[in-house]
Structure 1
Amino acid sequence: MHDWSRYWRSPDRPLEAMHAHFERHVYHRHSHDTYSFGVTETGAQSFTCRGSAHTSSAGMVMAFNPEDPHDGHATNLHGFTYRIVHIGPELVSDALADTTGRRLGLPLFAEPVVEDPVLAEALRSLHAALLSDDATALRRDELLTATVAAIVRRAATVPIRPDGRPGRSVRMARQARELLHDRLGDDLTSDDLARATGASRYAVYRAFQAEYGLSPSDYQRQLRLRAARTLISGGTAISEAATETGFADQSHLTRWFTRYFGLTPGAYRQAITGA
């Protein structure tokens, strides 16, 4: 069986889903700005997350918090098949609101792999509904709410709470991150980050890696890929999206887009537009 993937994206909400089989594809270390919940259907996939190695075998559930850096590849030559749903934090918050409408805070998942057949079945049902042409919007919403509630109840640890006053290292990392966001298309250097934070290049790198789990250059590339994906979904030509987001050319964008998202920009555009 060759590598394949099928992708779905909501036109009006931060909600995406992918069904894929990979034997040779290797995910570059990356993160999502969403919660990501997956279930491995066949085979096994190995990945690192939060400094530890993990394996998700058939029937196991994966739970990634927003901005949780991770990579991924097939554990053996037989590859793996999996379903994954990416859900924006605001949708998770909505699903968890109590009967008075009061928001209860966002959950935190300490373990990226969970063995729970009930959750696995809930995720399969939600994923199938999202990719189905027959499921109604109401049915999708019901399954989304029920699945989020079940995952939080059965697998989350503690809610994410606002930090107190951040220490010097955290402030430094956040200043560098803000610069990367503000000057997305610029060819920034380590000296630029050092000047923005008032620290040495090494200190910025160390602080950033500790806070976000990625190097500044990897984080910058990821920001550019997310921006390119947004442009492509809005109808921008792939070559133009590559230029606007700081990639050398379309092939450069395609190479990294595939390593991060598991499909080419052209396949992504076709999946969400049918064109």
Structure 2
Amino acid sequence: MAEVDTTQEWARHWQYTELPQLDLLRARYVRHTFPRHSHEGYVFGSVSSGVEDVGLPGGTVHAGPGTVVMINPEVPHTARAGVPEGWVYATLYPSAQVIDGIAAELKNPRGTVGFAETCVRDPYAARLITDVHRAAEEGNALAADSVLRVLVARLLNHHGGVLTTRVSHSAGARDAARARAVLEERMQRPPTLGALAAELGTSPFALLRAFRKEYGMPPHTWLTDARVRRARRMLDAGTAPAAAAAVVGFTDQPHLNRHFTRIVGVPPGAYQRERARTYKTGGVTSP
């Protein structure tokens, strides 16, 4: 019997045209670690083997087979292997509009829906996540759409609720929001922390503390995440990776490649190639 390479990693990050506003990632990671980042939409992950350690503001959760990871929009988190052999998982990234639409059909209470628990043991929901992937990869639009709705309905009914919105009117919160706006506007040539603080009429350490409190990460980490998000939108629109790197403020394409791969899980070239496919494809499969 041939010896299995326990260090081999593989990944496929793609979209199925019949399920708009949904990204799919299926992968095996061993050495790869996801730095602190967040998503505009939701994250639903199902580990089929190994353990994924997900670092959250409240601590680290250990996700293994039979569990479902649920992360609300804009929640900063990290991910890495929790065991030496890494983890294999299937993840869905539905937009807030997809979840809100299904919640409205279910007549859930008004407000922004979300999940208080990040990791729950729910083998049935875990299987549904992999079933969505399987149906999409087979080009079965009816099954993929149906199973996705059953999955979201189950997660909302069993684990969901209405998120409470924290509104802070402190000077620090206002400074953090203004700093974020400046960084978005000047993504190509961002100011130093000292220059940014002086522009906002505060001190560097006060701004650093306020920004961490509001967004769960320091300004430079948030900016890297924001650059990758913007690069993704440009790649989706057909922009070449090198051009996207220049527009969002990365030094060159290798600089984009490094951060994009760490945060998204695949290199920008592979990401864009999958976006260009409009037909059924097997993509990258597990060994």
What TM-score do the two structures reach when normalised by structure 1? 0.91
Report the more deviating stretch, 209-218 or 159-168. 159-168
Distance 2:220 2:275 in 1: 29
**Does 2:160 align with 1:153?**
no
**Does 2:268 align with 1:262?**
no
The letter of the residue matching 1:53 is T
Aligned to 1:64: 71
Q: Deviations over 1:202-228 (max 9, x none)?
A: 111101101111110011111111111
Aligned to 2:146: 142
Distance 1:74 1:105 in 2: 35
Aligned to 2:90: 83
**Does 2:179 align with 1:173?**
no
Aligned to 2:237: 234
**Does 2:149 align with 1:126?**
no
Seen in structure 2, the aligned counterparts of structure 1 residues 165 and 48 have a Cα distance that, compared at 3 Å, is: closer
Contact 1:176/1:196, CA 8 A, preserved across alignment: no
Distance 2:235 2:106 in 1: 39
In structure 2, runs of 5+ residues without a counterpart are 279-287
Runs ≥4 residues deviating over 3 A: 10-13, 161-165
**SS of equivalent to 2:125:** helix
In structure 1, runs of 5+ residues without a counterpart are none
Distance 2:29 2:166 in 1: 38
Contact 2:28/2:89, CA 8 A, preserved across alignment: yes
Distance 1:162 1:45 in 2: 29
Q: What's the CA shift for 1:182?
A: 2.1
Q: How does 1:1-275 map to 2 (within 5 A)?
A: 1=5, 2-11=8-17, 13-98=20-105, 104-130=110-136, 132-136=137-141, 138-156=142-160, 158-164=161-167, 166-274=169-277
Report the more deviating stretch, 91-100 or 227-236. 91-100
Distance 1:53 1:164 in 2: 26
Seen in structure 2, the aligned counterparts of structure 1 residues 44 and 163 have a Cα distance that, compared at 3 Å, is: closer
User: Alpha carbon RMSD of aligned pairs, Å?
Assistant: 2.1
The letter of the residue matching 2:261 is T
**SS of equivalent to 2:74:** coil
Identity %: 31
Distance 2:106 2:77 in 1: 35
Contact 1:175/1:196, CA 8 A, preserved across alignment: no
Seen in structure 2, the aligned counterparts of structure 1 residues 111 and 189 have a Cα distance that, compared at 3 Å, is: same
**SS of equivalent to 1:235:** coil
Distance 1:204 1:5 in 2: 38
What TM-score do the two structures reach when normalised by structure 2? 0.87
Distance 1:15 1:103 in 2: 24
Distance 1:270 1:176 in 2: 35
**SS of equivalent to 1:209:** helix
